[in-house]
Chains A and B, each alone.
Chain A
Amino acid sequence: MESFSQMAWLVPLFPLLAFLLLVAVGRQWKESSAYVGIVATLASFILSVLVFAERIGGQADNYTWNRLEWLKIGDVSFGMGFEINNLNALMLVVVSLVSLLVNVYSKGYMHGDERISVFFSYVALFTFAMLGLVISENMLELYIFWELVGLGSFLLIGFWYYKPEAKAAAKKAFVMTRIGDVGLFIAILLLFWHMPNHSLDFASIHNAFAEKHIAGATATWIALLIFVGAIGKSGQFPLHTWLPDAMEGPTPISALIHAATMVAAGVYLVARTFDIFQASQAALDTVAYVGAFTAIFAATIGTAQNDIKRVLAYSTVSQLGYMMMALGVSATVTAGIFHLFTHAFFKALLFLAAGSVIHAVHTQNIHEMGGLGGKMKTTAWTFAVGALALSGIPPFAGFWSKDAILAETYHSGRWGLFIVGLIAAFFTAFYMARLFFLVFAGKPRTDVRAHESPAVMTVPLVILAVFSVITGFVQTPFNGWFGDWLTQNAGAEAHEGGAVVMIVSTLVGLFGIWLGYMIYVKNRISREIISSNAPWLYRLVYRKYYVDEAYGAVVVRPLKKIGDGLNLFDVYIVDGIVRLCAALVAWLGRLGARLQNGQMQTYGVVMVFGLVLLTLLLVGRRFIDVG
């Protein structure tokens, strides 16, 4: 029987077609290129929803198709194919929906840009790669798409390539993620080395690790190296610095790639290869601690940034840390993927709303905004929904997913991580309150005549706002449907005593918002309370803990020095030899030219000289015994 799962390979193909079409003839179409992107992602979305609906129905088994042989080396062959299970189906819907909404939104946001068709072709390329990544059937295929999304991200961050910051940010993103990619690649090589039959498909990996064919140090190394890849892609400490810089790209791109989909690919990767991680407690602990540290580290930075998009970027880093922490502490992927799912919606919403604000006031500095709530009603209330969801206030989606994470941490018995999670939640609520009140409340600080964005931009906001409210209810402490469905009842467990966690996390979130309200609206607490009493602390946080500077001193500058040294070698030794050869030949040439003076008599002398020499040789040979 034909099922939609069997047709799932079509999902990434629609954006690919759109990309090819736009690359070929998009230049003439200008603004109407947007429709190509919208139609393609709409087709992908509809098919994804059909696949998803089929999975929810529960009749469909996991479907794998891998008969396309891609590469054959000796007895080992690498296939291409696709796999549909509940996790994939969920990701398909998230990616295609956000991509569709971003395409629609971009039609308004990018209106009038010279290279609008190029923009939509890049977005289509990215969407293709991301959807392909999600349904990949083996590690090698996943790696190919993994690099392709990196390429899409690079192209789109550097879309405004005439801005030097954008160019630098694109390069930085490419290089930093590449560090992680090397880890992932080594992990794939190790897997290839150790797997029975050298197979790299996820089903075999699942079996091999479930039956403990690979265990001990090998499993730990593989898991850690995969996690290195995830660190790079998902902006975890210490490779997080590229993500905030990536905000130089157009805002819809920040929403699509650097909030909802690509950066979540790291989390998805860990969830996809969760069997490997479960084989090694050390790897799980690493994931949990790195995630927790990133969560609180980035959240504190977020409180001191002045660029609206950078605050959101650090918030993304912090939330990704939450997801990693959830994967590290729990026995199933439920909590982490649940947060990925809800976060995709409310973070995309926040970015798109921020884009709407930037579109209206043409600045990204939150201190130059203010009082926009009255002029941009739709943007303001959708942003508020996103902010509340991110801050973890019930009944918004973020509350349920964050609560699931905190409950998992609470039940794992790791109090340190639980406390870190709570503190990070407090900072999250605080910086979101700061952002919201500075941008939308109070009086305008500049005389920019802000106006609401067109419907093509606000409608996606409203849709995302709706999702930011309702998606949380698929998994609550009273209703574990999502977890049961996602893990296919593999390790479903009901958590008792979730009420304590719920109340504590809500109180923490409310306290953060109250503090923000007191400081930035009521002015009860001075804004400069930190920066005047402990300026070093403020500067430390404002400069993002000097991570970039540290990398500059530890990595970049020594490498530059080595490069300069090697350059000297090149200039003086290598080039020197080349120049010497050239000079020798030129000198010989000049000698020859002097002989060739056009006088027959000189030529004659040379000839006679040669003849005499030959004769002498011939004659002289008789007297010398040459053996």
Chain B
Amino acid sequence: MSETIMPYLTLGAILFCIGLYGALTKRNAVLVLLSIELMLNAVNLNLVAFSKLGVLPSVKGQLFSLFNIAVAAAEVAVGIAILIALFRHKGTVNADEMNMLKK
């Protein structure tokens, strides 16, 4: 077994951190949404890596990642729809101005 799991996990962690950073810092809501996708894909990468190289390799991991991709697609669709509705309502996609949870 020359292949090790570490590079995959490292890549996943880097992707996740970039996504997290983007989700927490970007002003533009579309970019926030994109960053979340990045985090989801980091998770997918981990799932696939574990299904192939983990302690108990199993194809279920890949199944889950496919499932995840489907759900992420739906999530993006809903997220974009909400963003458009918000843009129509408030005329902006700036995340700073979306503080209606306060009320």
Contacts and interface: CB of A to CB of B under 8 A. Distances in A.
Do A and B actually bind?
Answer: yes
Interface of A: 596-601, 604-605, 608
A598 B95 contact: no
A596 B102 contact: yes
B23 A598 contact: no
A605 B102 contact: no
B99 interface: yes
B99 A598 contact: yes
13 contacts: A597-B99, A597-B102, A598-B99, A598-B100, A599-B95, A599-B98, A599-B99, A600-B98, A600-B101, A601-B32, A601-B95, A604-B23, A608-B24
B24 A598 contact: no
Contacts of B99: 597-599
Given A605-B24, A608-B20, A608-B24, A600 B100 contact: no
Interface in B65-103: 95-96, 98-103
B24 A601 contact: yes
A224 B32 CA distance: 93
Interface of B: 20, 23-25, 32, 95-96, 98-103
A189 to B, nearest CB: 67
Contacts of A604: 23-24
B7 to A, nearest CB: 22
A608 to B, nearest CB: 7
List 8 tightest A-B contacts by C-beta distance, closest first: A598-B102, A598-B99, A598-B101, A604-B24, A599-B99, A601-B24, A605-B24, A601-B95
Contacts of A599: 95-96, 98-99, 101
A236 B25 CA distance: 90
Contacts of A605: 24
Interface core residue of B24, B25, B32, B103 (most chain A CB under 10 Å) = B24
A407 to B, nearest CB: 97
A176 B33 CA distance: 84
Contacts of A597: 99, 102
Contacts of B102: 596-598
Contacts of A608: 20, 24
Contacts of B103: 598
A604 B25 CA distance: 10
A522 to B, nearest CB: 97
Tell me which of A597, A598, A601 has the highest count of chain B C-beta atoms within 10 A of its own C-beta. A601
Contacts of B23: 601, 604
For B96, B101, B103, which residue has the most chain A Cβ atoms within 10 angstroms?
B101
Nearest to B21: A608
A600 B98 CA distance: 8
Given A597-B102, A598-B102, A600-B98, 13 more contacts: A597-B99, A598-B98, A598-B100, A599-B98, A600-B95, A600-B101, A601-B25, A601-B95, A604-B23, A604-B24, A605-B24, A608-B20, A608-B24
A597 B95 CA distance: 12
A121 B96 CA distance: 76
A602 to B, nearest CB: 9
Nearest to A604: B24
A596 B20 CA distance: 20
A604 B21 CA distance: 10
A236 to B, nearest CB: 76
Contacts of A598: 98-103
